[in-house]
Amino acid sequence: MSPKKVMPIRTTFNRRTNGFTLLELLVVLLIVGILVSLLTLSVGLVGADGAQRREAERIEALVQLAGEETMLHGIEMGLRFYRRAYEFSIYKDATEEWIPLAGDELFRRRDIPQGLELDLELEDRKVILEFEADDNKHYRPQVFIMSSGNVTPFQLRFREAFSSDSYQVLINADGSGEIKRDELQN
């Protein structure tokens, strides 16, 4: 047997490939731009919804914690809402006045995130919230958290300034709370 010679196969391409055409690049850039804008819009919607829920959960937890503090220490606490903030206060028997807890880390004044607003209802009546505290007025909280464990029942909505979507916090007289997502009927 004699060795067989293998002939190399040679392939030739008639067309030279130098890369992508300008039209192909523009189409890819257009598709990427559309995808990025859709992703940005969806993240923005989820972010706003997340801020509402986070703030609703925070106020519910703070009210429950304040209820525990009042029972443990035999003190009376209050909660005052503004259009874009809320703050806790404590009742001083000696002076018979409510003092905001400005220096307390847990119960300090809290501003809500930009773009959100608060709506408050007490005893099924909508409360018109002030923008800021008025130093000329006698300070008085809207919600009372008593040492007996009782809390003024209230309904609070965290909503976007120009949207009907909101998170609602319902606080019962025993201090227990519930958060639910709702659609406001305008």
pLDDT surpasses 90 at 8: no
Q: What is the DSSP letter of 180?
A: E
Lowest mean pLDDT among 43-52, 94-103, 106-115, 151-160: 43-52
pLDDT for position 185: 44
* Sign (positive or negative) of CA dihedral 81, 86, 91, 95: negative
| pTM for the structure as a whole | 0.67
pLDDT surpasses 50 at 16: yes
- Dihedrals phi, psi of 82, to nearest 5 degrees: -120, 175
Fold of 36-183: minor pseudopilin epsh fold (3.55.40)
Residue 142 contacts residue 85 (beta carbons within 8 Å): no
Give the pLDDT confidence of 123-154 residue by residue, as tens digits.
Answer: 889 998 988 776 657 789 999 999 988 888 88
Give the pLDDT confidence of 147-174 residue by residue, as tens digits.
Answer: 988 888 888 888 777 766 667 777 766 6
CA distance 16 to 29: 24
What's the gap between Cα 148 and its chain centre? 31
Comparing CA positions, the residue from 116, 49, 126 lying closest to residue 86 is 116
Comparing CA positions, the residue from 147, 148, 153, 160 lying closest to residue 176 is 153
